[in-house]
């Protein structure tokens, strides 16, 4: 079966987006992993699947699969791409889009200039809701990693995040410390590991080692989690520009209630892939653009 897809990105965090409303889609973990390969496949951080909603008060169901084929709860940069995709492909004619995800409901709003504002919902701070192994809620937790004790914040934006404040993201050991935090036993569902440098009370720099992916150029939920952590610890004001390796988003949070994220989304190309093609890491004949 030939499956149509669109390659998109939000600040360099890139996606294979598939319409499961007008197409019959059957995904296999092994195929997703092969399609994600940047040398022999399409190449992406996550695959986003658009499906019909299960409830009448939602417009779509939004599903996210990491490059290793695992399904996850939420992706903020993906949400912006999702909004542009369904609007550009005329699956909906309203710029206000209501979606359900495994991590909770989202509201997406495509602005006249093409930027997308996402109502990311309320951050989850209680350890059992993240989930994180701690007896009570705190703004900072000690986390022993490779013999050193780190002071991290733990936040869920529908998916779990650890936030570590560093002096310089350029010098932060993301490649070595990131996977150790990601797989730490105190996070039973693994965690996205964020490294945050505070520039001033309205600006931060951020790098994120994403669960099941590795370091990405941008992470929308990671940006939200970092700003929430910064506000709770008294380091940041309530509207913050987050500079990621792929570009910037603006996060707003009043200290309670929902987190709002505004940033860009862009299409790169469209193509078709044969879902019954026999793949190996040395063959990619099943992809056409």
Catalytic residues: 75, 219
The CA R_g of the chain, rounded to the nearest whole Å, is 18
The number of residues making up the chain comes to 289
3-state SS, residue 24: coil
Q: Do residues 86 and 60 lie in contact, with contact meaning Cβ atoms separated by under 8 Å?
A: yes
C-alpha 81 chain-centroid distance: 11
- The first and second tokens of residue 124, run together, are 């989850």
Binding region for substrate: 13, 46, 66, 76-77, 159, 192, 210-211, 220-221
How far, in Å, CA of 205 to CA of 243, rounded?
5
How far, in Å, CA of 249 to CA of 225, rounded?
13
Q: Do residues 73 and 102 lie in contact, with contact meaning Cβ atoms separated by under 8 Å?
A: yes
How far, in Å, CA of 198 to CA of 71, rounded?
32
Exposure of 137 by Cβ count < 10 A (0-12 exposed, 13-18 middle, 19+ buried)?
middle
For residues 198, 256, 186, 203, the Cα torsion angle rounded to the nearest 10 degrees is -10
Binding region: 13, 46, 66, 76-77, 159, 192, 210-211, 220-221
Q: Do residues 182 and 190 lie in contact, with contact meaning Cβ atoms separated by under 8 Å?
A: yes
Sign of CA dihedral 278, 283, 287, 288: negative
């Amino acid at each position: 079966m030939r499956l149509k897809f669109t390659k998109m990105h939000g600040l360099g965090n890139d996606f294979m987006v598939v319409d499961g409303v007008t197409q019959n889609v059957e995904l296999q973990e092994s195929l997703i992993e092969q399609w994600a390969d940047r040398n022999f496949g399409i190449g992406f951080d996550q695959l986003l699947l658009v499906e019909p909603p299960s409830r009448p008060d939602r417009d779509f169901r939004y599903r996210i699969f990491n490059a290793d084929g695992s399904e996850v709860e939420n992706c903020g940069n993906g949400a912006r791409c999702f909004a542009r995709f369904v609007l550009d492909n005329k699956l909906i004619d309203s710029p206000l889009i209501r979606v359900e995800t495994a991590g909770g409901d989202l509201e997406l709003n495509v602005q006249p200039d093409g930027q997308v504002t996402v109502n990311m919902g309320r951050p989850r701070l209680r350890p059992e809701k993240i989930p994180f192994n701690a007896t009570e809620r705190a703004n900072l937790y000690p986390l022993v990693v490779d013999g050193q004790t780190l002071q991290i914040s733990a936040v869920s934006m529908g998916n779990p995040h650890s936030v570590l404040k560093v002096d310089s993201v350029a010098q932060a050991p993301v490649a070595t410390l990131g996977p150790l935090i990601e797989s730490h036993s105190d996070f039973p569902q693994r965690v996205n590991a964020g490294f945050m440098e505070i520039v001033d009370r309205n600006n931060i720099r951020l790098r994120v080692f994403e669960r099941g992916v590795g370091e990405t150029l941008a992470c929308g939920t990671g940006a939200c989690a970092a700003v929430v952590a910064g506000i709770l610890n008294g380091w940041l004001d309530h509207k913050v520009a987050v500079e990621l390796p792929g570009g910037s988003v603006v996060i707003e949070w009043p200290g309670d209630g929902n987190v709002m994220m505004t940033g860009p989304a862009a299409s790169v190309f469209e193509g078709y892939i044969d879902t019954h093609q026999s793949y190996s890491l040395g063959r990619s004949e099943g992809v056409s653009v």
